[in-house]
Amino acid sequence: MMPLRHILPLLLQVLDISAACAANTTSTLFRNGTIVAFNRETESLEVIRNGAVLVTGDRIASIFPNLPTRSELPSGTEEVDITDKILTTGFIDTHRHGWQTAFKTLGSNTSLIEYFPRYIGFAAQGHVSAEDVYIGQLAGLYEALNAGVTTSVDHAHHTWSHEAAVAGLQASIDSNARVFWCYTIQDRENFSIDEQLADLRAVAATASFRGTPTSMGIAYDSFGPNPNLTVVEAIVGLIREFNLSVLTTHSVQGPYGFDNSPEDLDSLNILNLPIPIIISHASFLTAAGATLLRSANQYISITPESEMHYGHGHPTAHLILDQAALGVDTHFTFSTDILTQARLWLQSARRTRYELVLDLWQTPINNPMSVNQAFLLATRHGGLALRRDDLGVLCEGAKADLVIWDGTSPGMLGWVDPVAAVILHANIGDVQGVMVDGRWRKRDGKIVDKRYETEVKQRFLESARRIQRDLINTPLPVLNGGITQRVDTLRGEGDGYAETLLEV
Ligand SMILES: *[C@@H]1O[C@H](CO)[C@@H](O)[C@H](O)[C@H]1NC(C)=O
Ligand SMILES: *[C@@H]1O[C@H](CO)[C@@H](O)[C@H](O)[C@H]1NC(C)=O
Ligand SMILES: *[C@@H]1O[C@H](CO)[C@@H](O)[C@H](O)[C@H]1NC(C)=O
Ligand SMILES: *[C@@H]1O[C@H](CO)[C@@H](O)[C@H](O)[C@H]1NC(C)=O
Ligand SMILES: *[C@@H]1O[C@H](CO)[C@@H](O)[C@H](O)[C@H]1NC(C)=O
Ligand SMILES: *[C@@H]1O[C@H](CO)[C@@H](O)[C@H](O)[C@H]1NC(C)=O
Ligand SMILES: [Zn+2]
């Protein structure tokens, strides 16, 4: 018998495996940087200075405390010097509506009640074609990638027709970002729930996303009060049949009455489905709801800027941070990045906890939340919410979704603690490089995909200008609810509120 070492090369030659592997597997070594790694044993961040990270294919192959020798590296490894830079895992946005990019700046001073009749899927659909959905979703995902957001959970409520649904999914795939694209089942004009369920099935069966970082999930916002059991059953059936990647729902309880609470899901017996469930906002979460989330190990998505902007935050969110991740929500209205969300949330959770002591007329002596906790909420917790142990962590075996920060920018210069430098001093202009699945998506400060500059921007602007003109000329209906008192920023008469700045 021939020894194996003689047969193997022949076999590889015959099958052309070695050639195929070499062509497809790229290796990159990041060296001499500061690495914000994740230690699985202690469940905490571990800073490695002057270390190196080897990426092979779509994974982090090794983390070296010192510079490895050439012989430790696969042949053809590209070396990237990251001296004075910080290497972190990418951010995870657990709640987004990517298709809405065209509305940018239109919602700068809306409340949630003003938002609904204008910007939500069934309100806007008359103004937005499938092509508009495609280009808005694509532009929105480049925006996210540019900001170091490598993963997003997209509550895709643009699924008002087969064409619009497929357009948003295709844009997610084409962006090369990691998108958990969630087909949204909801009451719509001219596209019944039954038609949507059939369409979801058709889209899932096509599996056009297979082999890409995009996967398909499902979104539904009518689990309670008064759920339609037939629809819920059909949704659960589709989840099981297609092993959809996540189920997500908006929960805004209290005066909003848009419950979809953990209690509602539990009474339908679906909190323990085999897939992760993400409850967005979870405003007015109860203690009982929190207990249910913990027992089923399901997560909420706190979207700090959205909740502050629209007025649907909740006073107890700081009590469920062990079962919470962060999200952006309507990126057309405010920051697109999870870094800003982490910073806002860190400071608002601190404020909440400080006030409990201040209310007792005592001076707080310790700081209630750390930058490391904020960083982990923005990264690791997103992975946990998705039950993906390989996302949101920089450690061996994890997905190579990475961000390189310029540690020498004016804002960051002088840092000692890289986590504090990122969470409290960086901005998205400091994001120099982004990888998803071990492939460059932003490099040297620029989106890598050539189509972005040559085609996507122009197509997007044409689409956005038309939609913006349409929306600005569509009057809002009369709304019911409580009136908030405006702040006054002007001495004397008048409050300084911008009445109309809109001209397209
Ligand atoms: C590897 O690359 C070759 C040519 O570059 C391509 O034909 C093949 O489909 C690729 N294989 C995989 C698994 O991507
Ligand atoms: C990179 O790190 C190696 C080993 O720690 C060191 O010898 C070398 O001088 C460093 N290079 C730069 C550019 O800092
Ligand atoms: C539904 O179809 C009717 C008749 O074609 C049309 O007038 C209406 O605008 C459609 N509604 C939406 C939201 O597209
Ligand atoms: C529940 O949904 C099914 C399927 O769309 C529909 O046929 C039925 O009329 C709905 N039931 C109620 C009570 O609305
Ligand atoms: C379902 O998908 C997950 C990843 O989303 C995978 O880990 C799991 O093995 C799949 N389960 C089945 C039964 O295919
Ligand atoms: C701000 O809100 C007011 C009241 O809703 C509205 O009249 C005005 O057009 C808004 N301004 C902008 C810039 O959106
Ligand atoms: Zn939302």
Are 284 and 430 in the same domain? Answer: no
Higher per-residue pLDDT: 15 or 321? 321
Q: Tell me which residue of 171, 80, 182 sits closest to 434, measured CA to CA.
A: 80
Are 69 and 209 in the same domain? Answer: no
Which atom number of ligand 2 is nearest to the Cα of residue 31?
1
Domain presence at residue 17: no
| Length in residues, the chain | 504
Residue 392 token pair = 């949101």
Residues 6+ apart with CB under 8 A from 410: none
Chain center to CA of 324 = 13
| 285, 253 Cβ separation under 8 angstroms | yes
Q: What is the DSSP letter of 60?
A: E
Are 155 and 194 in the same domain? Answer: yes
Percentage of the chain beyond pLDDT 70 is 94
Q: Which residue minimizes the CA distance to atom 6 of ligand 1? A: 20
Instruction: Find tokens 């049949």 and name the residue.
Output: 241
- Predicted confidence (pLDDT) per residue in 436-482, tens digit: 999 999 999 999 999 999 999 999 999 999 999 988 888 878 888 88
For residue 92, how many other CB atoms are within 10 A of its CB?
A: 31
- Predicted confidence (pLDDT) per residue in 113-132, tens digit: 888 888 887 778 889 999 99
Residue 15 pLDDT:
46
Boundaries of domain holding 345: 91-391
Judged on CB neighbours under 10 Å (0-12, 13-18, 19+), 192 is exposed
Ligand 2 pocket, residue 32 CB under 6 Å: yes
Are 180 and 202 in the same domain? Answer: yes
Residue 169 pLDDT:
98
Ligand 3 pocket, residue 363 CB under 6 Å: no
Residue 498 pLDDT:
74
Are 45 and 180 in the same domain? Answer: no
* Last residue within a domain, chosen from 413, 428, 447: 447
Distance 66 CA to ligand 2 centre (A): 9
Are 223 and 166 in the same domain? Answer: yes
* Last residue within a domain, chosen from 373, 391, 409: 391
Percentage of the chain beyond pLDDT 90 is 83
Number of folded domains that form the chain: 2
**What value does the mean pLDDT of the chain take?**
93
Residues with Cβ–ion distance below 5 A, ligand 7 = 329
Are 33 and 163 in the same domain? Answer: no
Domain presence at residue 225: yes
Q: Name the band, by pLDDT with cuts 50, 70 and 90, for residue 33.
A: very high
| 442, 405 Cβ separation under 8 angstroms | no
Distance 214 CA to ligand 5 centre (A): 14
Domain presence at residue 106: yes
Measure the CA–CA gap between 424 and 415, rounded to whole angstroms. 11
Domain presence at residue 408: yes
Are 176 and 47 in the same domain? Answer: no
Are 289 and 362 in the same domain? Answer: yes
Task: Say which CATH number the domain at 264 has.
Answer: 3.20.20.140
Chain center to CA of 227 = 28
Instruction: Find tokens 């009640």 and name the residue.
Output: 113
Are 152 and 276 in the same domain? Answer: yes
Q: How many helices (H) and strands (E) does the chain have?
A: 17, 17
Ligand 3 pocket, residue 192 CB under 6 Å: no
- Predicted confidence (pLDDT) per residue in 34-67, tens digit: 999 999 999 999 999 999 999 999 999 999 998 9
Domain presence at residue 56: yes
**Pocket around ligand 5 at a 6 A CB cut-off:** 243, 245
Are 403 and 340 in the same domain? Answer: no
Domain presence at residue 4: no
Ligand nearest to the CA of 110: 6
Domain presence at residue 3: no
For residue 110, how many other CB atoms are within 10 A of its CB?
A: 18
Q: Tell me which residue of 313, 314, 299, 301 sits closest to 265, measured CA to CA.
A: 299
Ligand nearest to the CA of 18: 1
Q: Name the band, by pLDDT with cuts 50, 70 and 90, for residue 21.
A: very low
Measure the CA–CA gap between 308 and 445, rounded to whole angstroms. 31
Ligand 6 pocket, residue 484 CB under 6 Å: no
Which atom number of ligand 4 is nearest to the Cα of residue 197?
5
Ligand 6 pocket, residue 501 CB under 6 Å: yes
Residue 2 pLDDT greater than 60, yes or no: no
Domain presence at residue 10: no
For residue 365, how many other CB atoms are within 10 A of its CB?
A: 6
| 387, 396 Cβ separation under 8 angstroms | no
Are 370 and 316 in the same domain? Answer: yes
pTM value is: 0.92
Ligand 2 pocket, residue 408 CB under 6 Å: no
Task: Say which CATH number the domain at 425 has.
Answer: 2.30.40.10
Q: Which of 31, 34, 48, 50 to mutate to test the pocket of ligand 2 (most atoms within 8 A of CB)?
A: 50
Ligand nearest to the CA of 188: 3
Residue 504 pLDDT:
57
* Last residue within a domain, chosen from 429, 447, 465: 447
Residue 272 pLDDT greater than 60, yes or no: yes
Ligand nearest to the CA of 222: 4
